[in-house]
Amino acid sequence: MAMKTIYVFGNEFLAEDSFARKTSEYLNDVHLIHCRSPDDLLEADGEITILDVVKGIEKPIIITDVNQLQTRDIISLHDFDLSFFLTLLQNMGIGKNIKIIGIPMQGDAQKMAQEVEACL
């Protein structure tokens, strides 16, 4: 069986956006791709599994429907976020089989990794 690939989002230099990257350090038996931009997903084949933080949650959630994502108005290129990108792909008919594992913005990264592995 092939090793599962996980696309990890987040900015390690921003405390509120770095927890997915910290958590990924404790994941076992997966191939990690640390993404700097949502367009890193364009080359992905098959099912895409994404790990990213989600504001306002206390435990991991699984999102399989892009329509569940909350997008916001774009004011600048800095605001061009992952949820907007995935919604755009779907609306253009380039939808991919996507599974997002959303985790809280903070916590114990090692314990969170165990919860993420249970979601795989």
Q: Which pTM value belongs to this model?
A: 0.84
Q: Tell me the domains of the chain and their CATH numbers.
A: 4-119 (3.40.50.1450)
Please write the tens of the pLDDT for every residue from 10-34: 888 988 889 999 999 999 999 999 9
Residue (of 2, 1, 74) closest to 38 by Cα position: 74
Structural contact between residues 2 and 92, judged by C-beta atoms closer than 8 angstroms = no
Q: Model confidence at 79, in pLDDT bands (50, 70, 90)?
A: very low
The residue type of 93 is G
